[in-house]
Structures are given as C-alpha cells and as structure tokens.
Amino acid sequence: MRTKLGVLATGLGFFCLAMPAVAHHGFDTEYDANKKFTFTGVVQKVEWLNPHMRVYVDVTDPAGKVTTWNMEMTSPNTVRRQGWGPNDLKAGEKVTFTTYGGKVVETRGSLVTIKRLSDGRELFVAGGPDASVPK
C-alpha cells in the first residue's frame, strides 16, 4: 500500500510537472474538453507531417454513413522519439480511438488514444494530446 501510494504520488507529480505549456498552439482555442468521443473505424491515412502528426479514420454509422475523423497529435518528431514509426499504423487497419472534438468542426479532433484491433495494441499514447488534458 505504501509503495502504491508513493508511486501514485510520484507519478501524479511527474504527470503534472511534465505538463507543458504551448507547443505549437493551444488546446482550448481549437478543441472542446467536454466533447469526448470513442469510435471504431478504419484508418484512411496517417500523416507524419509538421507541425502536428494526424490520423484520419473513417467511421461508419449504423445507417452506413461514413464520417472521416481528422485527428491531431503532437509533432511527428515527438512521436518518433518515443519509439514509434510509420510501420506502426497504416491505412486500412481497424482501430478504436478516443478523441476530443473540435470546437467548431467537431470531426477535427484532438486524439486521446488509439488502439490497433488486430493485436489490441495501444499506439502513440504518450504522444497524444491527452497527456496534457485532465481526465
């Protein structure tokens, strides 16, 4: 118990200390922390581009209508330094993801988590914007 609490305190401390200020632009000018969605869909493309990496996922609703979610992450260099690369997520793969919605354009989101369904692996988690958003 002691260890767990200690680890918890340390972990939370580091979490908060690690919370940075603005990298390229702010979260709350673009995204709504009260709009959080989870969907399953198929990856349309993954952009390892600057200033922010992006993942586009096609989500089909029960009526068959397809909506493409365009979700922003941190910089591709940051994700690369965490050990991820272009082979980790490719177009056509099925994923479950959680995202914050855009304030005005809801389907332009800020990616929180994304899981590859073929092997259940969570991808890019530490690089996602949720690293700085209170849960």
Partner 1 sequence: MKRILVVSATVLGLALALFVQTQAQGRVTSIPAGGTPLLPDNLVNGPVPRLADGHPDLTGPWLGGGSNADIEREGGLKPGELPLLPWAKTLRDGRKEQDEPYVACLPMSVPRMNPYPWKFVNAYTSKGLTEIYILHELGDAGAHRVVYMDGRKHPADVFPTWYGHSIGRWEGDTLVIDTVGYNDKFWFDSRGTPHTDKLHTIERWTRPNYGTLINEFTIDDPGAYSRTVQLKFTARRVRNDIELMEDICTENNQAGIAGGYRLNSGEK
According to CB under 8 A, which residues from 76 to 95 bind partner 1? 77-82
* Smallest gap from residue 100 Cβ to partner 1 (A): 9
Under 8 Å between Cβ of 79 and 46: no
For partner 1 (CB under 8 A), the number of binding residues is 57
Which residues partner with 114 through β-bridges? Answer: 97, 123
Under 8 Å between Cβ of 95 and 57: yes
CA-based nearest residue to 33, from 88, 98, 120:
98
CA-based nearest residue to 134, from 28, 54, 22:
28
According to CB under 8 A, which residues from 10 to 39 bind partner 1? 10, 12-13, 15-31, 33
According to CB under 8 A, which residues from 111 to 130 bind partner 1? 126-127, 129
Distance CA 85, CA 38 (A): 24
Dihedral pair phi/psi, residue 94, rounded to 5°? -85, 135
Q: Does 50 bind partner 1 (CB under 8 A)?
A: yes
* Smallest gap from residue 51 Cβ to partner 1 (A): 5
Q: Near partner 1 by CB under 8 A, which window of 49-57, 60-68, 85-93, 114-122?
A: 49-57
Binding site for partner 1 (CB under 8 A): 1-2, 5-6, 8-10, 12-13, 15-31, 33, 47, 49-52, 54, 70, 72, 74-75, 77-82, 102-105, 108-110, 126-127, 129, 131-134
